[in-house]
A = this chain, B = another copy of it.
Amino acid sequence: MADVAARVGVSKMTVSRALNRSVESERVTSEALRQRILQACEDMGYVIDQTARTFSSKRSGFVAALLPSLNNSNFSETTQGLTEVVEARGLQLLLGYTDYRVETEERLIRAMLTRRPEGVILTGGSHTTAARSMLRAAGIPVVETWDLPAKPIEHVVGFSNAEAAAVMVRHLHAKGYRRIAFIGGTSNRDTRGADRRRGYAQAIRELGLPDGRVISFGQPPISMAQGGEAVVQLIRQWPDVDAVVCVSDLSAFGALMECQRRGWDVPGRIAIAGFGDFEVARAAHPRITTVAVNCTGIGRAAGELLLSAIDGLRDGHRPPAETVLIPFHIEQRESS
């Protein structure tokens, strides 16, 4: 930077300001001078050292987003929306994936925080105590997504997974189904999955339908193959079942394919519903009834919430914690 300054005939400070003009909107250098400086940087192949900048200014220029999985069209779309919003503001998005494990999430949060992100986006509302306190201590804005945690860390953009599953049960009930089962994972590692099961169970009770028809199969997130195995077990255990709500479209799809393999008509023998409106649910034959969420919208809203919180913090105040509800709806398709 000193070399560039020398070449243009100004001080390091002026170069620094010219380079940061784009980030801050304050006008500092004359546009002509600024262009000369930028040109000189280009000519000399100079790029600012972000590590020194971060170190000195306490602003890292990045935001961390933690995803449970890198193989999920829902989270992928959310990330897309997040990227749009955050990069438009000149912040970089750095991703990590937790593999649906809170311990991994904790490790990642710790690692990310040492790099001083300006904000953190989490997926879900379930975190270790250590993770919570680290985030609190860091004093940076946090947004939890895809969930409606009972005790949010700060901001939230999501919906009630329990309510969504309940709505699906009521929908199937309205279509005339009466012996409605649920397929999900064995543990509560995927807390959104556990919430959906809870919502299912409650709706069943409220409607006075025969309950307890729950197949738990495999470590979440359960796979297509596990969905297939689960539906076989389901029909063996409760032969009278006429519909099944699956914890996700992936297991729903696995169940659907297994039914076809065994010659069980869907929805004639059994109706199948999924969750998430994954691509596979739209493409399958028959197309799978599912709960559709505006995934990109979650990302955008989370990004905007985070940005305004970051802005607030820079201006010295902390905006109050906000919760943005994202609507969902049932996509009624051929599988029910």
Contacts and interface: CB of A to CB of B under 8 A. Distances in A.
B279 A257 contact: no
Contacts of A45: 137
Contacts of A67: 70
Contacts of A253: 280, 283
Contacts of A96: 93-95
A69 B76 contact: yes
13 contacts: A45-B137, A47-B114, A52-B55, A70-B76, A71-B72, A93-B96, A94-B96, A223-B279, A223-B283, A224-B279, A224-B280, A254-B283, A257-B283
A92 interface: yes
A209 to B, nearest CB: 29
- In order of increasing CB-CB distance, the 3 nearest A-B pairs are A50-B114, A224-B283, A71-B76
Interface string A48-77: 111110110000101000010111110110
Nearest to A107: B87
A285 B256 CA distance: 9
Q: Which of A54, A62, A116, A228 has the largest count of B CB atoms less than 10 A from its CB?
A: A54
A27 interface: no
A88 interface: no
